[in-house]
Amino acid sequence: MTIMRPYGDTTGDGMVQLSFTLPISSQAAGAKLAEGAAAQLANKMGMDPALVVHAKPMGPDFTFFVVYGRVHHLVDTSQVRVVEREFPLLTPKEVNLAIRKALRRRLVVVGGCIGTDAHTVGIDAILNIKGFAGEKGLEYYRELRVVNLGAQVSVPQLVARAREEQADAILVSQVVTQRDAHLHNTKEMSAAFRESFPAERRPLMVVGGPRFDESMTEELGVDRIFVRGTTPGEVASYLVDELVTKRRQVSTSGAQAS
């Protein structure tokens, strides 16, 4: 059965609940008008009948409503399209476990802002233990060794440090976009890494920033681009997917072939 309706207390009753605020006064004479306004919104959203069960004034200018009611829409699960992330999202525990089991050493991440960019907001949100959006940064992960070079790192410095630390991955953040600086810097970096490392030894190159386009990886010569709103957990999950899961698949299929 792929067709369904919301379920209140009986199959097919279509009951839903909804809460919202309207910028309308419900004090004194305004109370009825406010409730009517809420019912109108619920009706327009497809709730019919709509029961305004709660209307509470919040200060002189706003009212908060809770509405229960029936919707007549049908859900057809055969028509649901889900855009899949190309890698599974893992918890910190799962990330640590995957690395420990597969690598038997810590995975090394070297990060920083290249060029003259002094905005470490992005790289710090991903790397600092403090983290971002309620998620801890990569420093929090026991099995990741994080080297955060901070701001204004030159490309040669980054290459040298990556070699010294035997980095598995490079994380670079670019916030400043004047005269496409973020694109030039990224190309310069990817060229330098490709030149300095044999392909199979080259660290994974990941860049991020608010003005990148996720689909430009090939043009910029990097392995992955992350855009605004990316959380540390997503980056960690990606690293595991690329450096642990996929490489193991490659090596096992290689073993079978030989």
Nearer to other proteins, 143 or 241 (CB): 143
d(CA 255, CA 258): 5
Rounded to a whole number of angstroms, the minimum distance from the CB of residue 66 to other proteins is 10
Site for other proteins in 9-48 (CB under 8 A): 19-21
- The residue from 72, 86, 134, 178 that contacts other proteins (CB under 8 A) is 134
**Per-residue string for binding with other proteins, 173-212, x by CB under 8 A?**
----------------------------------------
d(CA 231, CA 99): 19
d(CA 46, CA 16): 11
Residue 150 in contact with other proteins, rule: CB under 8 A? yes
Residue 140 in contact with other proteins, rule: CB under 8 A? yes
Residue 64 in contact with other proteins, rule: CB under 8 A? yes
Nearer to other proteins, 125 or 225 (CB): 125
How many residues interact with other proteins (rule CB under 8 A)? Answer: 25
**Per-residue string for binding with other proteins, 84-123, x by CB under 8 A?**
-----------------------------------xxx--
CA distances from 224 to 72, 83, 169, 232 (A): 43, 18, 11, 14
**Helices of type H across the chain:** 31-44, 92-103, 121-127, 155-165, 181-196, 217-220, 232-240, 247-257
> Cis peptide before 49, with omega less than 30 degrees from 0?
yes
Residue among 154, 165, 147, 149 nearest 189 (CA): 154
Residue 147 contacts residue 161 (beta carbons within 8 Å): yes
Residue 128 in contact with other proteins, rule: CB under 8 A? yes
Residue 59 in contact with other proteins, rule: CB under 8 A? yes
What angle is formed at CA 190 by the lines to CA 115 and CA 124, rounded to 5 degrees? 50
Name the active-site residue from 44, 93, 101, 130: 130
Which residue's entry shows tokens 């009517």?
36
130 is catalytic: yes
d(CA 225, CA 213): 7
Nearer to other proteins, 58 or 191 (CB): 58
Q: By the criterion CB under 8 A, which residues form the site for other proteins?
A: 19-21, 56, 58-59, 62, 64, 119-121, 124-125, 128-130, 132-134, 136, 139-140, 142, 148, 150
Q: Write out the catalytic residue numbers.
A: 130
